[in-house]
Structure 1
Amino acid sequence: MTTATTGRSCPCGLPQAYERCCGRYHSGAAAAPTAEALMRSRYTAFVRRDEQYLLRTWHPRTRPSSLDFDPGMRWTGLEVLETGDGSAFHSVGTVTFRASYRGGSLHERSRFERFEGAWVYVDGDFIE
């Protein structure tokens, strides 16, 4: 896992430093309070190749046993396009986003659920 530089903006696109943004979720100091916050933290985990966090925040019924990161993949930005439910008052939620990488982008509508009190990623549909 890559070490963040203090004071740098978080890869998720929000203006806070990594340590105050997604870093606190990655370290386990806090849990993502919304489906969108979890999705942003998972994007950042992909940027940082944090397999442990990605697997920990994946629903057990759909979670793979491990992840393979493409060593040539360079994520370059995240754009949240739409959210549906996924707040502290919901048990399910969706987040539609575009994640850009060098040479292209991934457009997905992700589904999230609360599992044992925490938001987890269930699955998603790619949008062309």
Structure 2
Amino acid sequence: MSEKNFPGPIQIPLATAEVWEKRYEDDTTIETPENKVKSFLIPRESLEKVLALDTDAVRAYIGINDQKEKTLLFVGAQYDKETGKYVDVYGHLSSEQNKSDAAGDIVYDGARPSPPY
């Protein structure tokens, strides 16, 4: 993806995000100075969407997307007084937004690694 097309899709189905997280967990690639990610370029819209969930916090998961780029996946996090832990809160894609799939949970992406972006 070129910077001209930044950010690209920011709403990622939860099932896709889980695949990307697993891909990162299973990654055994050795980072070198040439391929080491130093930062992420994050679209403002991704942050606004996750903040609109009105949760106590935001959690960022690391994943590897379909372009083999490291990415950040944002979800809301709400403190559960009963368990004493933060639980993930996902956005929801209504059936009007995506006529081809049933409504479902989504996370927010669009982050691009730097380098190269």
Q: Identify whether the pair has TM-score above 0.5, normalized to the shorter chain.
A: no
Query: What TM-score does the superposition give when structure 1 sets the normalisation length?
Result: 0.24
From the CA coordinates, give the structure whose radius of gyration is larger.
Answer: 2
TM-score, with structure 2 as normaliser: 0.25
